[in-house]
């Protein structure tokens, strides 16, 4: 690979990596907002209330996901309101305005990286990633619209949700060539292989979960997609600095302020006193 | 790749220590964290309302301890990286980047750990925040001074000034170390002059001495620690655990550096040392006993105790185990029932005939029974009993682990130098922490036995388990007249007729929570005899019902006349009644391997609960005068909480205390309270509104 192409890949990977980091942050924010204060059993055995809501099979189960406020009891202090519906609505809003745009941008950039820098035989996969991601994002928005409707009245988020999971699973599986880009030493290569394994596992879980109607598998796929995102971010951000291996990268880091100070801060030996030490307690046995 | 793996192996001790610093807050703090109920208390280092200086010293010591662990990791790792090549015949890998990493990674790990304490303890006001900030800054400044100014001064004193006191003080251990190094100097000696010791090893040795000095300083501070409201000492448990991690990092890395050259695994070294040390008879845990008064009062029989309530109602208690949650819930329930009883004009305290308790339940019951004065529960002492049962004892356990237990594990032959050392361990530290009233400081089972005879205190039956035989061991002030042919039960007073035990010791043996306090044996002949070891009563029956049912059956069957007119068994359970566990998706060889153990554990829980219920219901069958009430910590309390796990250690966070207070007002608990008061005052049907929620 020519130096110019390597440099270009490094620049593009860096941009893509930072967008991925932003997508991860938005994802964490959404997950945090959607985590209800008290855990309770959810339909289909899933653990995330947002996921339970988007994959809901019967609108009457909404109360099981976002529980109404507890009734007051005679002689007891008024119970704290749960406000679970409001909390889920807030999580959906964060998902709509932060996470969906962020992950869509990230996956589209990943697809573009595969198209631009991947070997010719895998380039079409880049296009599949872009198309599937854009389609998935549209259905994700539809799903959010239906979820908000369901919190206040009738709504059917499951239909768009299932299509979204199929498209995103496809996108994740087709994005695996991104983990084979650039020069890779041991660490990057290991991260790359882990990324490929996780992406394929996440995609397979997602597709089979939809096929078999198993919501727990879809939830597992969501977790593995997050792990794949994290591995992709580390891989892409590490592509340039780690291209010669870990030790040179650490050396380069140690030359930068403030790490240059830290690398010599608090001397871990006292070279000036070497002679005095050795003369006092010699290893000579005589 | 091979070199990398070799260095990863050689660096295993510093790497694992570093991983411990990072992993501790991760497995303890998030909601539903895997070890949250057990370890979250470690990070609850301050207490609301404690003096300003307590928060300051807590954060200063914690920060300093975390940074000293980081220094131990950094320096030991650096020695392996710089000198491992020569010592282990490997390619030397060194770079400026690695110099950065050996500093950055341990410092980050220490910062993560201290942040964990900040997150959990969360200073809520300006006063708390300033003490935490200033404490953290002070800890950092002291650390920097230790590694720079103080270290340079020490260097001059130990290595340069030939007539200094410190040189004479450290001369012997350094000479001993030099002798060992002379036997195998590779990696220690300067390659340019093999007769000279590399200065960095001397530097490390000196910092090891500084770490030891810090360990001793904390011992001195803790030994004279000032107790604040609620009985909280100033040295946090986390700080004490960090001291163990620091010493382990120094000691174990030293051993690996010495022995890895000869391909002798560290575990082999430890096993050999441990096996040799176990030859000393003192390498065991003993509990304190006192010689019984020759004129001791014999234990009251069950019928004697019941007879004093002839024609009147009798209440007996079975309090379940479960760490400090059980202690606090048991004390709160008993104190609450007495409060209800006073409001309704009844005599709960006088109706209370016997208490059979297990583990944490024994601790709570101990405080309540201790609050008896002349046959009645003293209101002030009872209020103090509830506070005492809720007070943390975790720091004492950590202190016992960090000091006596660590020293005796390494040097068990030092124990007999001073006979009281034999009974000093984390178990005795826990007992000392529980002596929160003047009366408990000196109370023994014989004293309480005499009180039972005099009808001024209810009988207690603290349940423990004999580790070797699996039998129940009763530390009691009443007797079940156990015969030698009884296979399921022993009584301490019958096994050792000439010995008496402090009440706190009996309770500690009943509450030998696995690993928190050790299995212990009676201290006779300085360990030169074979004795049973006693462990937590929860292994046999975590509900205390087996003993109380046997005791009641015995007592009621012997009484022909003078029977109480009715008997109520109050079962106190400190954890919500659990439903059967969900099926799990598990398979593979590991599941095959663990399955018998996991099944045993599951059967223990399900089997004990089922048998407890069956025992109590059988006793109440057939028109018997026995009925029962269960006062269980309500599951509803956890419904709207972030974390649905009650604490399992000897520490309650402010949130835990709040939940305990809320639980007393729960509708189900209220119904149970009503049933108890109705039982006491059956003759008076007008009494429905004397209890308030």
pLDDT-derived band at B515 (thresholds 50, 70, 90) equals confident
- Report DSSP state, residue B164: -
pLDDT at B493 over 80: yes
Q: Which residues pair with B352 in a beta bridge?
A: B315
- A250 and A244 in contact (C-beta within 8 Å)? no
CB contact under 8 A, B97 and A281: no
Q: What is the mean pLDDT of residues B363-388?
A: 95
Report the C-alpha gap between B138 and B131 in whole angstroms.
10
pLDDT-derived band at B586 (thresholds 50, 70, 90) equals confident
Torsional sign, CA A253, A258, A259, A264: positive
pLDDT at A202 over 50: yes
Q: Which two tokens stand for residue A12?
A: 């593009």
Could you report the per-residue pLDDT of B77-130, keeping only the tens digit for each? 999 998 998 999 888 877 889 889 999 999 999 999 999 999 888 777 787 788
pLDDT at A182 over 90: no
pLDDT at A286 over 50: no
- pLDDT value for A34: 85
- A113 and A178 in contact (C-beta within 8 Å)? yes
pLDDT at A41 over 70: yes
Which residues, including other chains, have CB under 8 Å from residue A108's CB and lie 6 or more apart?
A129, A130, A133, A134
- pLDDT value for B484: 81
Largest CA distance in chain B: 98
Closest Cβ opposite residue A276 in set B74, B159, B693:
B159
Distance from the A248 Cα atom to the nearest Cα atom in chain B, whole angstroms: 8
Q: What is the mean pLDDT of residues B525-534?
A: 88
Contacts of A264 in chain B (CB under 8 A): 99
- B350 and B376 in contact (C-beta within 8 Å)? yes
Q: Which two tokens stand for residue A27?
A: 């994802």
pLDDT-derived band at B277 (thresholds 50, 70, 90) equals very high
The rounded percent of chain B whose pLDDT value lies above 70 is: 95
Report the C-alpha gap between B322 and B575 in whole angstroms.
8
pLDDT at A271 over 60: no
Contacts of A84 in chain B (CB under 8 A): none
Q: Which residues pair with B476 in a beta bridge?
A: B461
Chain A touched by B190 (CB under 8 Å): yes
Q: Which two tokens stand for residue B641?
A: 């909480």
CB contact under 8 A, A273 and B159: yes
pLDDT-derived band at B227 (thresholds 50, 70, 90) equals very low
Question: Where does residue B93 rank: exposed (0-12), middle (13-18), buried (19+ CB within 10 A)?
Answer: middle
Which residues, including other chains, have CB under 8 Å from residue B553's CB and lie 6 or more apart?
B619
Chain A touched by B579 (CB under 8 Å): no
pLDDT at A161 over 70: yes
DSSP, collapsed to helix, strand or coil, labels residue B498 as coil
CB contact under 8 A, B199 and A274: yes
Closest Cβ opposite residue B160 in set A40, A276, A283:
A276
CB contact under 8 A, A253 and B100: yes
- B353 and B688 in contact (C-beta within 8 Å)? no
Contacts of A253 in chain B (CB under 8 A): 97, 100
Cis (ω within 30 of 0) for the bond into B253? no
Q: What is the mean pLDDT of residues A135-152?
A: 95
Number of Cα atoms under 13 Å in the Cβ half of residue A1: 16
Distance from the B355 Cα atom to the nearest Cα atom in chain A, whole angstroms: 31
Q: Radius of gyration of chain B from Cα atoms?
A: 28
pLDDT-derived band at B232 (thresholds 50, 70, 90) equals very low
Report the C-alpha gap between B469 and B459 in whole angstroms.
26
pLDDT at B234 over 70: no
Distance from the A283 Cα atom to the nearest Cα atom in chain B, whole angstroms: 5
- pLDDT value for A278: 47
At B357, give phi and psi (nearest 5°): -135, 160
Which residues, including other chains, have CB under 8 Å from residue B524's CB and lie 6 or more apart?
B289, B531
Contacts of B693 in chain A (CB under 8 A): 75-76
Contacts of B101 in chain A (CB under 8 A): 250
Q: What is the mean pLDDT of residues B397-415?
A: 92
- pLDDT value for B426: 93
pLDDT at B42 over 50: yes
SS3 string of chain A? CCHHHHHHHHHHHHHHHHHHHHHHHHHHHHHHHHCCCCCCCCHHHCCCHHHHHHCCCCHHHHHHHCCCCCCCCCCCCCCCCCCHHHHHHHHHHHHHHHHHHHHHHHHHHHHHHHHHHCCHHHHHHHHHHHHHHHHHHHHHHHHHHHHHHHHHCCCCCHHHHHHHHHHHHHHHHHCHHHHHCCCCCHHHHHHHHHHHHHHHHHHHHHHHHHHHCCHHHHHHHHHHHHHHHHHHHHHHHHCCCCCCCHHHHHHHHHCCCCHHHHHHCCCCCCHHHHHHHHHHCCCCCC
Name the packing angle between helices A3-34 and A215-238 (round to 10°): 140
CB contact under 8 A, A254 and B99: yes
Q: Quickly list DSSP for B236-249.
A: -HHHHHHHHHHHHH
Distance from the B266 Cα atom to the nearest Cα atom in chain A, whole angstroms: 25
pLDDT at B372 over 70: yes
Report the C-alpha gap between A217 and A165 in whole angstroms.
11
CB contact under 8 A, B97 and A253: yes
Report the C-alpha gap between A49 and A69 in whole angstroms.
16
pLDDT at B157 over 50: yes
Chain A touched by B625 (CB under 8 Å): no
Contacts of A40 in chain B (CB under 8 A): 639
- pLDDT value for A276: 47
pLDDT at A18 over 90: yes
Q: What is the mean pLDDT of residues B380-409?
A: 92
Q: Residue holding tokens 């410190």?
A: B166
Of A96-100, B48-52, B428-432, B612-616, the poorest mean pLDDT is in: B48-52
Considering chain A, what is the average pLDDT of its residues?
88
Could you report the per-residue pLDDT of A231-261, keeping only the tens digit for each? 999 999 999 888 888 888 999 999 998 888 8
- pLDDT value for A38: 65
CB contact under 8 A, B95 and A251: yes
- pLDDT value for A43: 83
Distance from the A126 Cα atom to the nearest Cα atom in chain B, whole angstroms: 33
pLDDT at A277 over 90: no
pLDDT-derived band at B371 (thresholds 50, 70, 90) equals very high
Could you report the per-residue pLDDT of B357-366, keeping only the tens digit for each? 999 999 999 9
Which of B14, B99, B108, B643 to probe by mutation at the A interface, max A CB count within 10 Å?
A: B99
Torsional sign, CA B19, B20, B25, B29: positive
Contacts of A46 in chain B (CB under 8 A): none
pLDDT-derived band at B35 (thresholds 50, 70, 90) equals confident
Residue of A nearest to B194 (CA): A283
CB contact under 8 A, B96 and A251: yes
Which ipTM did the prediction report? Answer: 0.77
Using a CB–CB cut-off of 8 Å, the residues of A that contact B are 37-40, 70, 73, 75-76, 79-80, 82, 186, 247-255, 259, 262-266, 268-271, 273-274, 276-278, 280-285
pLDDT at B319 over 70: yes
Considering chain B, what is the average pLDDT of its residues?
89
Which of B147, B186, B187, B202 to probe by mutation at the A interface, max A CB count within 10 Å?
A: B202
Q: Which two tokens stand for residue A214?
A: 């198993």
Report the C-alpha gap between B165 and B262 in whole angstroms.
37
């Amino acid at each position: 690979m020519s130096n110019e192409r390597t440099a270009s890949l490094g620049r593009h990977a860096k941009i893509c990596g930072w967008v991925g980091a932003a997508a991860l942050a938005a994802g964490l924010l959404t997950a945090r907002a959607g985590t209800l204060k008290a855990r309770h059993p959810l339909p289909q055995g899933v653990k995330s209330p947002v996921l339970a809501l988007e994959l809901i099979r019967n609108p009457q189960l909404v109360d099981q996901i976002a529980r109404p406020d507890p009734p007051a009891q005679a002689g007891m202090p008024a119970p704290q309101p749960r406000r679970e519906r409001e909390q889920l609505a807030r999580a959906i809003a964060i998902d709509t305005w932060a996470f969906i745009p962020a992950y869509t941008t990230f996956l589209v950039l990943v697809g573009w990286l595969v198209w631009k820098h991947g070997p010719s035989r895998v380039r079409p996969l880049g296009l599949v990633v872009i198309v599937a991601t854009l389609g998935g994002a549209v259905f994700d928005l539809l799903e959010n619209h239906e979820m908000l409707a369901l919190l206040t009245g009738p709504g059917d988020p499951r239909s768009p949700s299932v299509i979204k999971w199929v498209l995103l699973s496809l996108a994740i599986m087709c994005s695996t060539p991104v983990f084979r880009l650039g020069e890779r030493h041991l660490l990057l290569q290991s991260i790359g292989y882990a990324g490929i394994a996780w992406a394929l596992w996440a995609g397979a879980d997602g597709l089979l979960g939809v096929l078999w109607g198993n919501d727990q598998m879809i939830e597992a796929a969501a977790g593995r997609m997050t792990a794949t995102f994290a591995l992709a971010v580390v891989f892409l951000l590490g592509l340039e600095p780690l291209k010669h291996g870990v030790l040179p990268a650490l050396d380069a880091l140690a030359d930068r302020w403030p790490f240059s100070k830290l690398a010599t801060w608090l001397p871990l030996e006292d070279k000036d006193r070497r002679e005095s030490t050795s003369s006092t307690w010699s290893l000579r046995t005589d | 790749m091979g070199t990398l793996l070799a260095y990863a192996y050689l660096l295993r001790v510093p790497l694992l220590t570093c991983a411990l610093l990072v992993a501790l807050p991760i497995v303890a703090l998030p909601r539903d964290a895997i070890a949250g109920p057990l370890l979250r208390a470690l990070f609850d280092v301050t207490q609301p309302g404690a003096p300003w200086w307590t928060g300051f010293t807590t954060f200063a010591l914690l920060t300093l301890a975390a940074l000293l662990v980081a220094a131990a990791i950094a320096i030991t790792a650096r020695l392996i990286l710089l000198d491992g090549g020569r010592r282990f015949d490997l390619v030397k890998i060194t770079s400026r980047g690695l110099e950065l990493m050996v500093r950055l990674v341990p410092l980050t790990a220490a910062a993560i750990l201290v942040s964990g304490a900040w997150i959990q303890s969360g200073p809520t006001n300006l006063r708390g925040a300033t003490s935490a900030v200033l404490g953290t800054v002070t800890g950092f400044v002291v650390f920097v001074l230790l590694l720079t100014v103080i270290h340079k001064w020490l260097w001059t004193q130990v290595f340069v000034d030939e007539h200094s006191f410190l040189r004479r003080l450290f001369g012997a251990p350094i000479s001993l170390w030099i002798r060992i190094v002379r036997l195998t100097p590779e990696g220690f000696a300067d390659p340019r002059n093999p007769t000279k010791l590399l200065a960095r090893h001397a530097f490390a040795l000196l910092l090891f001495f500084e770490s030891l000095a810090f360990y001793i300083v904390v011992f001195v501070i803790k030994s004279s620690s000032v107790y604040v409201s609620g009985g909280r000492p100033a040295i946090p448990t986390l700080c004490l655990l960090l001291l163990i991690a620091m010493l382990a990092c120094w000691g174990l890395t030293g051993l690996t550096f010495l022995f890895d050259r000869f391909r002798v695994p560290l575990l082999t070294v430890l096993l050999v040392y441990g096996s040799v040390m176990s030859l000393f008879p003192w390498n065991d845990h003993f509990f304190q006993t006192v010689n019984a008064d020759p004129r001791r009062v014999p234990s009251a029989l069950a019928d004697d105790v019941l007879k004093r309530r002839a024609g009147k109602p009798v209440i007996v208690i079975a309090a379940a185990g479960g760490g400090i949650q059980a202690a606090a819930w048991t004390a709160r329930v008993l104190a609450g029932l007495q409060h209800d009883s006073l409001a309704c004009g009844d005599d709960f305290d006088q109706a209370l005939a016997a208490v059979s308790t297990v583990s944490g339940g024994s601790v709570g019951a101990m405080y309540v029974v201790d609050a008896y004065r002349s046959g009645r529960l003293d209101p002030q002492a009872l209020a103090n009993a509830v506070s005492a049962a809720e007070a943390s004892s975790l720091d004492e356990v950590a202190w016992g682990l960090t000091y006596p237990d660590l020293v005796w594990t390494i040097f068990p032959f030092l124990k007999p130098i001073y006979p009281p050392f034999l009974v000093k361990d984390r178990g005795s530290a826990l007992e000392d922490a529980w002596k929160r009233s003047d009366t408990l400081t000196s109370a023994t089972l014989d004293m309480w036995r005499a009180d039972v005879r005099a009808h001024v205190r209810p009988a207690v039956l603290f349940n423990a388990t004999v580790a070797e035989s699996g039998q129940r061991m009763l530390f009691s002030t009443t007797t079940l007249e156990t015969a030698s042919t009884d296979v399921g039960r022993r009584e301490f007073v019958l096994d050792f007729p000439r010995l008496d035990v402090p009440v706190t010791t009996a309770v500690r043996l009943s509450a030998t929570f696995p690993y928190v306090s050790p299995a212990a044996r009676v201290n006779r002949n300085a360990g030169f005899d074979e004795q049973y070891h006693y462990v937590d009563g929860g292994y046999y029956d975590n509900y205390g019902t087996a003993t109380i049912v046997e005791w009641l059956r015995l007592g009621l069957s012997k009484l022909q006349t003078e029977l109480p007119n009715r008997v109520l068994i109050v079962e106190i359970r400190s954890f919500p009644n659990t439903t059967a566990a969900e099926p799990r998706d598990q398979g593979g060889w590991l599941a095959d391997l663990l399955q018998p153990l996991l099944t045993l554990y599951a059967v223990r829980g399900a089997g004990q609960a089922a048998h407890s219920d069956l025992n109590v219901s059988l006793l109440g069958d057939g028109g018997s005068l026995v009925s029962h009430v269960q006062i269980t910590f309500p599951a509803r309390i956890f419904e709207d909480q972030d974390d649905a796990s009650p604490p399992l250690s000897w520490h309650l966070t402010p949130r835990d205390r709040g939940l305990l207070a809320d639980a007393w007002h729960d509708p189900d608990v209220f119904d149970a309270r009503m049933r108890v008061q109705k039982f006491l005052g059956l003759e008076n049907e007008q009494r429905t509104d004397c209890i308030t929620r």
